[in-house]
Amino acid sequence: MLGASLAALGLMTLTGMTQEAAKTPPTPAPAAAKVGPQPVEAFAALPEFERPALSPDGTRIAGKRALNGKQYLMVAPLLKDHGKPALAALSDKVDVNWWRWVNDEWLIVGLGSQDTIQGEDYYVTRLIGIRADMQKMVKIDWDNSGFRADEVLWTAQDGTPRILFAKQTGIYSMADVYPSVFEADVSTGRVKRIANGQTDVWDWYADGQGQLRMGVRYSDETRKQSILYRQSNAESFRTIARADGRKAESVLIPSVFRADGTALAIDDSDGYDALYEVSLPDLKLGRKLSTVTGYDIDGIIRNPAGNDISAIRYTDQSYHDAWTDPHIKEIQEALDKSVAPRRAEIVSWNTARTRFLVTVGSPSSAGALYYWDTDYGNMQFLSWTNPQLKGQRLSPVRTVRYPARDGTVIEAVLTLPRGHGTKNLPLIVMPHGGPFARDAESWDWWSQYLAELGYVVIQPNYRGSSGYGTAFAKKGEGEWGLKMQDDLDDAVAWAAKEGIADPKRACMVGASYGGYAAMRAAQRNSALYRCAVSYAGVSDLAAMKRYDSQFLFGKTRSDWLKKQAPDYRAVSPRFGAADMAIPLLIVHGKADKRVPVNQSRMMVAALKAAGKSVNYIEQPLADHHFTRAEDRLEFLKAMAAFLAQHNPA
């Protein structure tokens, strides 16, 4: 049965939960810098709240809540007269991927599960409507859906429980595979088709009024792309732009349709992602609206009507929302002033933008979540992000820059272990995953735990990382395991030159691409590192290509991967097992859907065949993202023991 795992759903009302939101203590002062050693369990703990979201009227909060090491979707009142906290208990085989308020009484939730259909594994997604008291759940047209059926394009702003969403209607004919667009009432599950699926149109876009405005057509066979456009639902779609991916062409895709008939779009024509005004339907770039010197913008926050922006999001040394809405800009400035040197981020708000959820923390402190009703002044404490660590300040974090051997400037995040001085320390090089991603100054439970053990941790944003413009990203093309690896090695040289690290006591630790880099370091640079730790790392790029080919746009992804590493075998650690002369710890989750566990199994088999010893842990329920506290704890303990043996602090 399609979506069989998704059938195992249930809801329950949680009783006896403390309603922390009813308390109104003042904002706690920052904890003293000197705190005692913290146990590993504190760092393995899941965040108390994940992605908290205010209801439109600002009276309830929805989010994932950590209880006994697991996460549950919870809705909790912020006032005593708005009911009791309730949470959804779902099958362990079902992922709660996201949630969104539709009106004050209903949420829409995106679910996913790995299912076997006709002998093949597929990831199946579905939508459910959940009433805020969690006493009713509505499946949104599950029986008439294909693999992908959870893409919400628009939610009504008039208080009705209506959404627009795109979904495949089946799996056995191409007409069903191309997603159609439907309007749904999430309180009843009734749907109405707005637009039929069209050949090779995989993505649809609506404006703030709920008009279906645009579709993006892309052929994985020809690599050709085009944009279908219309002004309103009353018109037919017409093609307004074309591009050929094999000629490195691309189309400009608007992010916001404005009320004046223009649009806003993110474009990198000046070398960095920036926000521009765009004319319609010719898609000509107009005035640039964002400027972040030396960095890309990350995205935007739309205004309440969905027809303009309220903020531009970007990351330099840390994450920022640059508010264009003068009211919220004033609020942000007041928050920044009141919590300094900690940082305040507005993470959710009501429709009227008078009530806010605010996180307050720092790169060295996990921080807390607050509720602020601006009509009443002071923020109310809701919960610590990590109740075991509370507001304690742990190891200091800062951004550094160093030159790679070819002169490329690499930005990195440096964490110095508190209480261990600043000179001649054992070093952990911790590359991020992606690799098109980046690290910045923020609370990081993994690096803070390593620092707590006494290691200085450096997290280089090696060439090919995101956020630093087009030219920097392109420096990574063809350099997987080569110059990208040099950038990591050069971090050791820089830290030694600065006197921070002992170059004879360095290890590399990473996950996903970072895990690949750790295994590659063991193969390529055994003389530089004493050990390496890989979590969910890629060991065989050709096998990874075959795995990715089963997903949508598999051929396009193969093009991309070939550009990053033209010779798969030469830079795949699996085929260099005989050259590995340092100890390795390899950990992988059996439930990992992003990097299959076979990537680590093949690496371990190759090492054993080459007569090499290896520490291997396979976690039966772990995924790619450490969503279970027990998996985090097992990994941290194993890593600490491994490092103590091979690179003691």
- As a whole number of angstroms, the distance between CA 577 and CA 554 comes to 28
**Is the pLDDT at 640 greater than 50, yes or no?**
yes
- pLDDT, tens digit, 9 for 90 and up, residues 449-475: 999 999 999 999 999 999 999 999 999
Nearest-angstrom CA–CA distance, 534 and 433: 11
pLDDT bucket at 561, cuts 50 / 70 / 90: confident
DSSP output for 204-243: EEE-TTS-EEEEEEE-TTT-EEEEEE-SSTTSPPEEEEEE
pLDDT digits (tens, 9 = 90+) for 393-425: 999 999 999 999 999 999 999 999 999 999 999
Residue-wise pLDDT for 170-184, tens only, equals 887 777 999 999 999
Tokens of 132: 């805020």
DSSP 41-103: HHHHSPPSEEEEEE-TTSSEEEEEEEETTEEEEEEEESSGGG---EEEEE-TT-EEEEEEESS
CA distances from 470 to 268, 558, 564 (A): 7, 20, 15
Give residue 119's pLDDT: 73
Separation between Cα atoms, residue 227 and residue 577, nearest integer Å = 47
Q: How confident is the model at residue 87 (pLDDT cuts 50, 70, 90)?
A: confident
Assign 559 a pLDDT band (cuts: 50, 70, 90).
confident
Give SS3 for 611.
coil
Q: What value does the mean pLDDT take over residues 550-574? A: 86
According to the model, what pLDDT value does residue 519 have?
97
pLDDT tops 80 at residue 31: no
Q: Does 503 have pLDDT greater than 60?
A: yes
High-pLDDT (> 90) share of the chain, %: 79
User: Residue 555: is its pLDDT beyond 90?
Assistant: no
Residue 609 half-sphere exposure, CB side, CA atoms within 13 Å?
A: 10
Over range 130-138, report the average pLDDT: 92
Percent of the chain with pLDDT over 70: 94
C-alpha–C-alpha distance, residues 41 and 128, integer Å: 34
pLDDT at 75 over 70: yes
Confidence (pLDDT) at 27: 46
Distances (CA, A) of 324 to 308, 309, 329, 331: 10, 7, 7, 12
The H or E element spanning position 290 is: none
Confidence (pLDDT) at 28: 45
Least confident of 26-35, 73-82, 401-410: 26-35
Q: pLDDT tens across 376-393, in order?
A: 877 899 999 999 999 999
**For the segment 266-322, what is each residue's pLDDT rounded down to a tens digit?**
999 999 999 999 999 999 999 999 889 999 999 999 999 999 999 999 999 999 999
Reply yes or no on whether the pLDDT at 230 is more than 70.
yes
Give pLDDT, residue 5: 57
Residue whose entry in the numeric block shows the structure tokens 């690179």:
647
Is the model's pLDDT at 79 over the cut of 90? no
Question: So what's the pLDDT on residue 33?
Answer: 44
Residues in the chain: 649
DSSP string for 345-394: EEEEE-TTS-EEEEEEEETTEEEEEEEEETTT-S-EEEEESSTTTTT---
The pLDDT, as a whole number, for residue 29 is 43
C-beta atoms surrounding 118 within 10 Å: 6
| pLDDT score of 535 | 98
Angle at 397 between CA 444 and CA 487, to 5 degrees: 85
CB 405 within 8 A of CB 486: yes
Domain locations in the chain? 397-646
Cα separation of 168 and 295, whole Å? Answer: 37
Is the pLDDT at 9 greater than 90? The verdict is no
Q: Which residue has the higher pLDDT, 25 or 204?
A: 204
Query: pLDDT tens, 151-165?
Result: 999 999 999 999 999
Residue of 619, 417, 639, 404 lying closest to 509 (CA atoms): 639
Closest by CA position to 43, among listed 449, 419, 368 = 449
Q: What are 342-351's pLDDT values in tens digits?
A: 999 999 999 9
Distances (CA, A) of 217 to 151, 281, 453: 16, 16, 51
Q: Give the mean model confidence (pLDDT) for residues 530-558.
A: 88
Q: What Cα–Cα distance (Å) separates residue 326 from each residue in 302, 308, 330?
A: 14, 14, 6
**Tokens read off for 136:** 């009713």
Per-residue burial over 337-356, b = 16 or more CB atoms within 10 Å of its CB, e = otherwise = eebeebbbbbbbbbbebebb
CATH code of the region 397-646: 3.40.50.1820
Write down the residue that tokens 């009783």 correspond to: 15
Q: What's the average model confidence in pLDDT over 606-614?
A: 95
When the pLDDT of each residue in the chain is averaged and rounded to a whole number, the result is: 91
Confidence of residue 7 (pLDDT cuts 50, 70, 90): low
